[in-house]
């Protein structure tokens, strides 16, 4: 991280600039501001107890104000409407695995080819998967968010719906500063994800890596660092080299779906996993009459579950353990399917 501390004076200038209150501030916001400032003091003490330097706490906290906008955005999230019907996947696929994203993905693939090859050789994570994650998260670095992260995370923690998560991520931003990340780099999405891979601060601390050898894990501006960090995430989450993520299949109409229904509940995002069937080997799926639509069968002993995102009679997918690694990155079937399909298109 050498060199980054030199930019700290820029960070302090930026921190001072965010003190200016929003012109729309009314009495309710003013009250929130007072509560927020009191809560910040508590967060600061907690941060120091967890090993953050007093210097960092004193340089960041006095610049922060409550951001009602991020709380508003958080309240619009679909998980606040758990009983809403699940929409069809096909329209989502058309807008997320579209010609523009495929073309840009192929350009990024060509541009970074030698580096991607090297990372794949070292980690076993396919080049196309790294590119597809980058494409889905930030449209290859084009859209990375412009919310001040400590301000956004402290506001979400103060609001309280997911306080443990957001207070932990807030403290992780302070630890990033202690590690030498310049204050002004701490900009990202309203919910705290940032840089090309859209890592949360705690994920950055654990898994971001320097890919271009300059000593800094600069996932905001270095494509090499971004791709290396994504591969490191996948390795850490258990990606198995040499196995596909999954593939499209046709399923005989006669297959009795009740006999393949999963009998266990996933502790993590159960609504996403409950749509998957039991695990079976490729040989077992073949015996049930399932047929790949655009590739040969992988090895017989690889296990997969079946997902029919748009119901029987439409495109279905057999999904391996590597699909679960994509879900670990972002727990949504639509996200994981479209990452896999974009990866297939990029390397075609």
Decide if 314 contacts 337 (C-beta within 8 A): no
* Given 133, 216, 227, 343, the residue binding Ca ion (CB under 5 A): 216
Subset of residues 171 to 210 that bind Ca ion, contact rule: CB under 5 A = 210
**Closest-CA residue to 74 (of 183, 189, 215):** 189
User: Binders of Ca ion among 248-267, rule CB under 5 A?
Assistant: none
Q: Which is nearer to Ca ion, 148 or 218 (CB)?
A: 218
- Least distance between Ca ion and beta carbon 112 (Å): 14
Site for Ca ion contains 214 (CB under 5 A): yes
Nearest residue (CB) to Ca ion, 218 versus 344:
218
Query: What are the distances in angstroms from CA 27 to CA 30, 98, 168, 170?
Result: 5, 46, 29, 26
Size of residue set near Ca ion by CB under 5 A? 7
Q: Point out which span in 18-26, 68-76, 221-229, 238-246 binds Ca ion (CB under 5 A).
A: 221-229
Residue 278 φ/ψ region, left for φ over 0, alpha for ψ in the -120 to 50 degree band, beta for the rest: beta
CA distance 294 to 183: 48
Minimum CB distance to Ca ion, residue 187 (Å)? 18
Q: What is the DSSP string of 196-211?
A: TTTB-HHHHHHH---S
Please list the helix, strand and coil fractions of the chain in percent, rounded to the nearest 5, in that order.
Answer: 55, 5, 40
Q: Which is nearer to Ca ion, 227 or 307 (CB)?
A: 227
Q: Per rule CB under 5 A, is residue 137 in the interface with Ca ion? A: no
Complex with Ca ion: residue 216 or 316, whichever CB lies closer: 216
Q: State in angstroms the smallest separation of the CB of 206 from Ca ion.
A: 17
What minimum distance in Å lies between the beta carbon of 214 and Ca ion?
A: 4
Which CB atom, from 184 or from 212, has the smaller least distance to Ca ion?
Answer: 212
252: tokens are: 């005989």
d(CA 208, CA 124): 17
Segment lying near Ca ion (by CB under 5 A), choices 45-53, 150-158, 211-219, 286-294? 211-219
Among 137, 225, 308, 345, binds Ca ion (CB under 5 A): 225
Cα 188 to Cα 197: distance, rounded to the nearest angstrom: 11
Which residues are at the interface with Ca ion (CB under 5 A)?
210, 212, 214, 216, 218, 222, 225
């Amino acid at each position: 991280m050498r060199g980054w501390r030199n930019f700290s004076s820029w960070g302090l200038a930026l921190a001072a600039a965010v003190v200016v209150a929003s012109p729309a501030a009314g009495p309710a916001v003013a009250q929130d501001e007072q509560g927020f400032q009191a809560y910040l003091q508590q967060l600061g003490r907690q941060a120091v107890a967890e090993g953050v330097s007093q210097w960092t706490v004193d340089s960041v906290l006095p610049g922060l104000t409550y951001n009602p906008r991020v709380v508003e955005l958080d309240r619009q999230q679909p998980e606040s409407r758990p009983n809403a019907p699940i929409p069809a996947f096909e329209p989502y696929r058309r807008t997320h695995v579209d010609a523009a994203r495929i073309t840009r993905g192929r350009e990024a693939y060509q541009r970074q080819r030698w580096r991607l090859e090297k990372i794949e050789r070292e980690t076993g994570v396919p080049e196309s998967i790294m590119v597809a994650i980058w494409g889905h998260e930030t449209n290859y670095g084009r859209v990375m968010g412009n919310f001040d992260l400590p301000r956004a995370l402290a506001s979400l923690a103060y609001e309280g719906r997911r306080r443990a998560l957001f207070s932990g991520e807030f403290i992780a931003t302070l630890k990033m500063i202690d590690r030498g990340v310049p204050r002004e780099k701490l900009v990202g999405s309203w919910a705290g994800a940032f840089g090309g891979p859209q890592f949360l601060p705690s994920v950055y601390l654990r898994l971001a890596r320097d890919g271009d050898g300059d000593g800094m894990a600069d996932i905001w501006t270095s494509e090499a660092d971004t791709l290396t960090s994504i591969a490191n995430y996948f390795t850490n989450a258990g990606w198995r080299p040499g196995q596909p993520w999954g593939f499209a299949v046709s399923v005989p109409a006669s297959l009795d779906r009740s006999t393949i229904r999963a009998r266990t509940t996933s502790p993590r995002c159960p609504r996403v996993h409950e749509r998957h069937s039991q695990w079976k080997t490729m040989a077992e799926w073949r015996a049930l009459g399932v047929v790949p639509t655009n590739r040969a069968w992988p090895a017989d002993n690889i296990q997969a579950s079946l997902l029919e995102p748009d119901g029987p009679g439409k495109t279905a997918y057999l999904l391996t353990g590597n699909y679960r690694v994509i879900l670990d990155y972002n727990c949504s079937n639509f996200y994981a399917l479209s990452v896999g399909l974009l990866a297939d298109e990029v390397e075609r």
